[in-house]
Structure 1
C-alpha cells in the first residue's frame, strides 16, 4: 500500500502534555504505513531533540496562531497530506479552517484532551467549537469521561467520537531512569531519612497545589518528609508564600521544569496528584511506569480511569486537605511487601497505555478515516 501522509499540527513542541503526546504518537507511528509531518509555529520546544530523524519538521514563519491559517493551508496542499491531526480547541480550530482553505481532500481528525466547560459562558464557547468539530472526520477523546463531555457540551454526535488513551513511552521512561541523574544541586533533597513526596504539573489553579501544601503540612507533623514540586506556572510566587505561611518552606522544594522528571520520580517514595479536574491524568500513568506508588484525588474523569477507581493507586477526595493527608500518611506506612505489589501492579497498568499500542490505535483510525472518504 502507498504510505499515507499524516500532518500533525501543534503550537510548539514545548514541555506540555499535548506536545509529549504528539511526540509519543509520531515517534511510534508505523513507518511502513505512514509518513509523519510535524508543523508548529515559529517557536523552539524542549521535545524537539527527541523527535526521530525521519520526521519532516516544518516551522511556520509566524508566532501568532491566527496568522497560521493560510501558511498551514499551503503546507497541507504542498505536502499532499491525507490526514490533518491536531489537539486542543484553539489549535483544532486553526487546523480545520486551514484544511478547508487548502482545497484538498485531506481529512481533519481533532483530539480533545481536557474536561472543559461547566459555566454558561464556557458551555456556549464549547458549542462554537462543536460546530467546527462537525466539519472534521473524527474526534478523538482521551478518556470515556471526556467523550461524554464532548457529546454533552460540544453537541457532537457520539458516533463520531472515539476514545484513545494517552500514549506513555514506558520503555523510554525506563531509559531516562537508567541513564539519568538528579541534578547535583538537588541531590541533598533525596539524601537522609526524610521520605520524599513528589508531584509534577503546571502551577495553575486546576492542579490545586494549595490544598496539597495544606495536606503536606499535616503529614509533616507526623513524619519526617519533604515535598518536591516539579513544574512552572502563574501561581509559583503565591504557592511559595503559602508554604512560608504554613511553616513548611524548608521542607517544600520547587524545582521548576525538569527535562527528565522520571529520575526524580524513581528516587521519591510517593507520587501525589492533587488536581481538581483531569481529562486523563497522563502524569499518573508516567508515575506508574516509573515504579512509584501513587496517591491521587478522584479528579474526574481521568484519574479514576487511569487508576481504575483505586485498583492501581490510592484515591482521595478532591480539595480535602485532611483526607489527602490521611491517604498520604497511610501510603507512606505501607510495608515493603505491599509496596512492591502495588508498584508491580502499577507497572502492568502503565503498559496498557504503552506508546506503541496507542500509536497503533491512532494508525487504525487514520486508515479507517482515509478509506471512508467523507467528512461525516
Structure 2
C-alpha cells in the first residue's frame, strides 16, 4: 500500500514539512511517494524528503495557478499506477489537485492562517468534505479554520503540531565554543538571539525597541543577534541606529541550517505577530535555551508552560522580561521544556497523534480510510 504525498514546493520550510509527514510512516506497511508540484529535481531535496520515492513535476508557480490541469493529469496517471490508500496534501493548491485528480481520502495539512477565508476557496473543499480531514499546525490555526468552515464537524478539523526529529537536531548542534567561533562571537558576550525573516509579521521592530530600553540593565557585553533576511532589513538597521543600539545589534543575514548554531546563544526571543506555529521554538528547546515569546498565535501553545510571554507589540513588557531573564533560575524550566519537546513535538509523539486522528475521523465519517495500518 502507498501513501500519496503532495507538496506545492520544497523551499524552506516546506522540505522539512514534507519530511515530518513522510516520517510518520517509518516502520509501517506503507510506502510514501512524495510529489513536488514546483521545483526542479534536486538530489539533496530527495534525500531530505525521507520518502520511499520522490517525483518532481517541475512546474513553475505560475503554471500551477488556476485549474492546474497539467498537474491534475499527471497525478491522476500516477494514482492509476499504484495501490494508494490515501493522500496527504500540504496547503490549499495541492489539496485542490488531490481532490480533482483522485478519488482518494485526503488529509489536508495547513501551515498558515486564512487558507479558507475567501468564499471562492471554500467552494471546492465544501463539495468534497466527506473525504477530507483538515490538519492544522496549531490550535490557533485550527480555531480560525473552524470559523471559516462552520458547518464542518469538529472531528474533521484538528490540530497536529509541527515537530522535529529530536535526536537528529541535537546531534546537529555545534558545541557552544565552536558555534561562537563560526559566528565571530567572543566567549564572554551575552547573546540574545532572534531567527526569522525580516518581515512585519516577525515584528523585530518591537524586539529592537525592547532591547534598547532594557540595555542599561543588561550585562555590559550584551549583543542582540538577528539571523535572517527580508524586505525590512534596511528599515530595521535604521531603527537600531535611531535607538542608539547599532553597536550592540548584529544583523547576520541568512545562515544556512541556522539551528546548528543555537548553542552559541544565551537567550532566544520570538517576537512574531500571529505566528502560526514557530518551528524555531522547537529548535531553541532542543538547544536547551531559555525563551521569551510574544503572546500571539501558535507559538504560545508551544512554550506557555515554561517560558515568559509578553503582550504582542509591548516594548515595556518585553524589556522587563529581557532584564528578568539575566538572573532567572532556569534549570527546572529547561527540563520541563525538554520533556514537552519529547512528549508533544517529536516525530514519535506526532506518529501516535496522527493515527489517532485518522481513526477518529473514520469513526465519524466512513468515507475516510478505515483504521489505517500502523
CA contact (8 A) 1:166 1:280 kept: yes
Q: How much has 1:285 moved relative to structure 2?
A: 2.4
Is residue 226 of structure 1 aligned with residue 219 of structure 2?
no
Output one character per residue of 1:1-20: Cα deviation in whole Å (capped at 9) or x when no partner.
xxx3112222222222x432
Is residue 30 of structure 1 aligned with residue 26 of structure 2?
yes
Is residue 101 of structure 1 aligned with residue 101 of structure 2?
yes
Is residue 114 of structure 1 aligned with residue 105 of structure 2?
no
User: Which residue matches 2:321?
Assistant: 327
User: Which residue matches 1:51?
Assistant: 48
Is residue 358 of structure 1 aligned with residue 361 of structure 2?
no
| CA-atom RMSD in angstroms | 2.8
| SS of 2:142 mapped into structure 1 | helix
Q: How much has 1:316 moved relative to structure 2?
A: 0.7
Q: How much has 1:37 moved relative to structure 2?
A: 1.1
CA contact (8 A) 2:7 2:90 kept: yes
CA–CA separation in structure 1 for the residues paired with 2:48 and 2:338: 25
Is residue 374 of structure 1 aligned with residue 367 of structure 2?
yes
Question: When the two structures are superposed, what TM-score results if normalisation uses the length of structure 2?
Answer: 0.84
Question: When the two structures are superposed, what TM-score results if normalisation uses the length of structure 1?
Answer: 0.83
Change (3 A) 1:369 1:76: farther
CA contact (8 A) 1:7 1:81 kept: yes
Output one character per residue of 1:134-191: Cα deviation in whole Å (capped at 9) or x when no partner.
32421112222322211112334323112211122211111111589538552x22x1
CA–CA separation in structure 2 for the residues paired with 1:244 and 1:138: 49
Count of equivalent residues: 353
Q: How much has 1:59 moved relative to structure 2?
A: 0.3
CA contact (8 A) 1:165 1:358 kept: yes
CA–CA separation in structure 2 for the residues paired with 1:291 and 1:263: 13
Unaligned runs of 5+ in 1: none
Following TM superposition, the consecutive aligned residue runs of length 4 or more in structure 1 with deviations greater than 6 angstroms are 44-47, 367-372
CA–CA separation in structure 2 for the residues paired with 1:305 and 1:46: 35
1:1-376 equivalences under 5 Å are: 4-16=1-13, 18-40=14-36, 41-43=38-40, 48=45, 50-51=47-48, 55-64=52-61, 65-66=64-65, 67=68, 68-96=71-99, 100-102=100-102, 105-116=103-114, 123=117, 125=118, 127-134=119-126, 135=128, 136-155=131-150, 156-177=152-173, 181-182=178-179, 186=183, 188-189=184-185, 191-223=186-218, 224=220, 225-300=222-297, 302-308=298-304, 311-334=305-328, 338-352=329-343, 353-365=345-357, 374=367
CA contact (8 A) 2:136 2:159 kept: yes
Q: How much has 1:354 moved relative to structure 2?
A: 0.8
